[in-house]
Amino acid sequence: MLTRRDFTTVAAATAAVSGLGAAFGRVAAQGRIGLEHLLRFEAKGQLTLLHMTDCHAQLRPLYFREPSINIGVGEMDGQPPHLTGSEMLDAYGIAPGTPEAYALSSHDFEALARRYGRVGGMDRMATLVRAIRAERGDGRCLFLDGGDALQGSFTALQSAGGDMVRVLDGLGVAATTGHWEFTLGQARLQEIYGNRYGAGAAPFDFLATNVRDTEFEEPVFRGWKIYERGGLAVGVIGQAFPYTAVANPRWMVPKWWFGIREAHMARTVAEVRRAGADIVVLLSHNGFAVDRKLAGRVPGIDVILSGHTHDALPRPARVGRTLIIASGSHGKFLSRLDVEMRRGEIVDWTYALIPVLAAAIPPDPEMARLIAEIRAPHADMLATELARTETALWRRGNLGGTLDDLICDALLAERDAEIALSPGFRWGGSLIAGDPITWDDIYNATAITYPAAYRTPIRGAFIKTILEDVADNLFNPDPYYQQGGDMVRVGGMSFVVRPDAPVGERISEMTLARTGEPIDATRTYVVAGWGSVNEGVSGPPVWDVVARHLKARKVVNGLARRTVMLKRG
């Protein structure tokens, strides 16, 4: 059998052939990190679970800045994953300036990005997965994807998720679940993933126990499956994003309902146990806070592989007997959990959140060829430079990001609006100062199936209602009422948000930027935005709006505005 040391030798040779050898060698020579460092692990027990989630169709390495603001409310206030920057590093004993610090924190992001380079890339992910399988034996490894895989790039949009089905198959994923997948529409999703009666085109499983049809409340998809690994019966239950029909267009999934369905989950866990499962794994797209609450209320779940909120934790959280794994997003991390089971109990385990540092990992040749084939028809267009940035562009964070500021600027200018609203999406890569902004970058931040950039009159009172509604989705102290996303981004105005205030009283001091006057509840404002969940919205695709703005502007700078002010207490 190919050992890890053998594989490293082969991989280094592959790097030299592929052209990565110089970068790989430079990183290793400077003593920072190498493939062997990333693969260092104390193997244990019968089973290795591998997990990635929320890759958002990112095929190639990119920069991705972790949030500098991630607000916890209620009992999660000040608890992981709601620690950021140096507080995050201190909580886990991670030294500043290290590769781990770069991967897990926004602290000193630009300097560390220049030092350690891009992260992710499905060819690098394939290298890590192949190495671990070579070490442990494929019969002990189960690779699971947490969803949000088929959306987030131009090629995913153009192929209606088809490119990522090929990639997930190439990685050897056994099962996945969904959220943004549903924005492909009911017909396309069933074409890819089938339903509870039969398989679709994808050669791996789609598990979603909480999706029901609206007519008879019957399951739409298979909810769970048992996989044999390492002599164990591994019961995997899939949980799609519970609020898909609220956070995304209802008209795209008109005959399906979602929901947390806690009581049903308890019955499903018991059913999987009765079917002979030695270990029960929940492949979840609930979000971390929901999974944490669920773990305390539904007995019998051994491991929750959590997704949706893009959180990355270097150690599992534990609620009772349940381990909760948070594996980040954008292909930036691969989680490895080894477990030893005896008599239906986890008696020992080891874990690593492996940062996918592209410069330290040689690309898997077969996956690299597949990615090149997928991108080849569009490569010239995607590489076209639209402008250049003199400031870091990033999105992830509860209250705003410079990339969203740029989108709002484009909406204001190109749609002749007074106020701009941009959804608080968590997906989309980052750029560092001096980078070109290409079509690839713009699609990575805007590629959705309902992209119309609308222009409409909205009264001041209703603008506040919109902001209050989003704030409650984000800051409700009960995780079961947190429906995902970050605070809506705004342009042309500012406001104060108080996460700890009661419902309907979190938003105040709304001010129109061009005049400095308070937003008048009775006045009508011209508002531009995109990503509306309403059917029949008209307007040009948001990526065209942003591209026109960039071509006119040529250089991007001066985006660090305080449009949202945070007040606690």
Q: What is the DSSP string of 521-564?
A: TTSEEEEEE----STT--S-BHHHHHHHHHHHH-EE-------E
The per-residue pLDDT for 89 is 95
Q: CATH 3.90.780.10 in the chain, residues?
A: 384-566
The per-residue pLDDT for 32 is 59
Contact 485, 425 (CB under 8 A): yes
Kindly report the pTM of this predicted structure: 0.93
The per-residue pLDDT for 482 is 87
The per-residue pLDDT for 560 is 62
Q: CATH 3.60.21.10 in the chain, residues?
A: 4-62+118-373
Angle, CA 95 vertex, CA 92 and CA 99 arms, to 5°? 100
Cβ-count burial of 164 within 10 angstroms (0-12 exposed, 13-18 middle, 19+ buried)? buried
What's 4-62+118-373's CATH class?
A: alpha beta
The amino acid at residue 424 is G
The per-residue pLDDT for 2 is 34
The per-residue pLDDT for 16 is 32
The per-residue pLDDT for 28 is 37
Helix H, strand E, coil C: the string for 207-247 is: CCCCCEECCCCCECCCCEEEEEECCEEEEEEEECCCCHHHH
**Domain 384-566 grouped into CATH 3.90.780.10:** yes
| Secondary structure class of 457 (helix, strand, coil) | strand
Contact 186, 251 (CB under 8 A): no
Closest by Cα among 497, 496, 492 to 513: 492
The amino acid at residue 557 is N
Pairing of strands 489-491, 419-422: antiparallel
| Secondary structure class of 65 (helix, strand, coil) | coil
Which letter does DSSP use for residue 282 in this model? E
Which letter does DSSP use for residue 319 in this model? E
For the chain, 569 residues long, give each residue's pLDDT as a single digit of tens. Answer: 334 343 343 334 333 323 333 343 344 334 457 899 999 999 999 999 999 999 999 999 999 999 999 999 988 899 999 999 999 999 999 999 999 999 999 999 999 999 999 999 999 999 999 999 999 999 999 999 999 999 999 999 999 999 999 999 999 999 999 999 999 999 999 999 999 999 999 999 999 999 999 999 999 999 999 999 999 999 999 999 999 999 999 999 999 999 999 999 999 999 999 999 999 999 999 999 999 999 999 999 999 999 999 999 999 999 999 999 999 999 999 999 999 999 889 999 999 999 999 999 999 999 999 999 999 999 999 999 999 999 999 999 999 999 999 999 999 999 999 999 999 999 999 999 999 999 999 999 999 999 999 999 999 999 999 999 999 999 999 999 988 779 999 999 999 999 999 999 999 999 999 999 999 999 999 999 999 999 999 999 999 999 999 999 999 987 767 789 999 87
